Amino acid sequence: GGGGGSRSVRVELRCAAETRLVAVEEDGKCSYLMLLETVHACLAASLNELEEVHSASLRLLIYEENAEQTEAGQARAHEAVLEQVEAMKQGQQHQQQHQQQLQQQHQQQREQQERQQQQR
C-alpha cells in the first residue's frame, strides 16, 4: 500500500425526534459530509456547556489507507458520531441531575423553614 492520505468527514447534526443517519455524501475528493438526525442535537443546541462538544462533533477526521475503504470510514465516522451523541446525552443527564439536586435543596430549606415556624 502507498502512503494513505487523510480523509475528512464533516458531520452535520440536525435536531430530530429520533436518531438516524440521513445521508453520507461525497462533497469533494477525500471529503465526506454526513447528515445525522438526533434529538441530542436539540438538547445540545439549548445547553451552553455542550456547545463545545457539539462543535467538536461537527469536525471529525477519519484516516483511510485506500479510497476503497470508504464504507469502513463511514462506519468509523458513524461510531465517532454516536460517541459524541453519548457524550451529549451524559452532559444532558448531568445537567438534569444538577437541577434535581438544586430542587431537592430548595425543598429541604422550605421544609426546615416550615418546621421552625411550627415550633414558634
Note the pLDDT tens digit of each residue in 43-71.
Answer: 665 654 455 554 544 443 333 333 445 56
Q: How far apart are CA 26 and CA 28, in angstroms?
A: 6
Q: How far apart are CA 86 and CA 83, in angstroms?
A: 5
60 by DSSP, 3-state: which? strand
> Does residue 50 form part of some domain?
yes
42 by DSSP, 3-state: which? helix
The residue with greater pLDDT, 35 or 84, is 35
> Does residue 56 form part of some domain?
yes
Domain extent for 49: 6-119
> Does residue 1 form part of some domain?
no
> Does residue 108 form part of some domain?
yes
Query: What residues have CB less than 8 Å from 25, skipping those under 6 apart?
Result: 32, 33, 34, 35
The whole-model pTM stands at 0.35
Q: How far apart are CA 1 and CA 87, in angstroms?
A: 35
For residue range 91-107, what is the model confidence (pLDDT) as tens digits?
A: 667 777 777 888 888 89
Q: Indicate the number of domains in the chain.
A: 1
